[in-house]
Structure 1
């Protein structure tokens, strides 16, 4: 009797532990399902010539993306690890047969999906136990800095550790791959910035309003979302983004 009781207690504790782990996993999955995911496998095709993407906005349960031919948007509902997509609206562009086929499969997949998993930035959508779609979240940043006036044009784009610099309106962009030290400085500077707040940053000076300085803007794209500053004076950015701006301009201006 004592042995049986001990087994019951151990089984109960183990069950509670598993239940807690499952609940925790579901809660974490719900919290993490946000941002942009690039489709790597659709139904049984893992060699897509065109890459659809799907973006989740957890703040209002909206979904949007590129289906292979058109842009789409709609709603989604999550209950634990179950997911359903509401009616999806899309643009009406005409595309080649291959793009149309991918788009058809994409919409057909989203209409059938009923559960998902998310591990190591890999999103998997299921119909029951069948895998219908696999997508990978891109956690890289795209940084775009522009400075424009009647006599000035500069554009710096940073993507995948490559810095591209166009120094005037008529020149072609030149680029270089950042070394490890440069890239670490860029990422460290980005991580000090609260992206959702950069649109509210006040410019420390207003010379651009009377042609006393070029108009400058900084845009950072992360997980499918754009975060952009208000216009500020080229050469005098808000303090919160000044180290990042200084770093990317320093790298750009030293490209040979």
Structure 2
């Protein structure tokens, strides 16, 4: 009986401590503070021939501001979180001519994003269960 009580107490302690650490993970705090660099697009590794001017990136800022690059043009827009849902609006964008076709693929995928998964090492943008893009933090 004493052994069973000890196991029960240990289980309760571990349950509460794991809940509190999960509760401290705020998706917004994981999104902000990183320059997220595109790692994959539509489930495939990046084709460097499509991104001749650079790799697309996203920056989530306080106040729902979104900045980044298509790999060619820079943008300044907004994002809105709703639980695990997210709405991304690239907003105003520079209008340089871009070679490679990657910019259109990136913007098209960005427009389809409805939800996300994030941890400190990877951001995955999804349309339901379909992975659209993944990003990794830029090395500092």
Partners of 2:119 and 2:90 lie apart in 1 by 27
Taking structure 2 as the reference length, what is the TM-score of the superposition? 0.74
- Contact 2:75 2:90 (8 Å CA) reproduced: no
Partner of 2:31: 33
Partners of 1:52 and 1:119 lie apart in 2 by 19
Root mean square deviation, CA, Å: 2.4
Deviation for aligned residue 1:119: 2.1
Partner of 1:83: 86
- Contact 2:60 2:67 (8 Å CA) reproduced: yes
Partners of 2:86 and 2:46 lie apart in 1 by 26
Partners of 2:35 and 2:115 lie apart in 1 by 18
Partner of 1:46: 45
Partners of 1:77 and 1:139 lie apart in 2 by 26
Partner of 2:105: 105
* Inter-CA distance 127–80: structure 2 relative to 1 (3 Å threshold): same
| Partner of residue 70 from structure 1, selected from 69, 73, 94 | 73
Answering whether residue 46 of structure 2 is matched by residue 55 of structure 1, we say no
Partner of 2:9: none
Task: State the aligned residue count.
Answer: 119
Match of 1:88, SS?
Answer: strand
Partner of 1:8: none
Partners of 1:93 and 1:87 lie apart in 2 by 15
- Contact 2:66 2:90 (8 Å CA) reproduced: no
Ranked by relative contact order (alpha carbons within 8 Å, sequence separation 6 or more), the top structure is 2
Match of 2:26, SS?
Answer: helix
Answering whether residue 123 of structure 2 is matched by residue 129 of structure 1, we say no
**Larger fraction in strand:** 2
Deviation for aligned residue 1:139: 4.3
Q: Structure 1 unaligned segments of length 5 or more: list them.
A: 1-12, 141-256
CA-to-partner distance for each residue in 1:27-46, whole Å, 9 max, x for gaps? 52222111211101011331
Deviation for aligned residue 1:54: 1.0
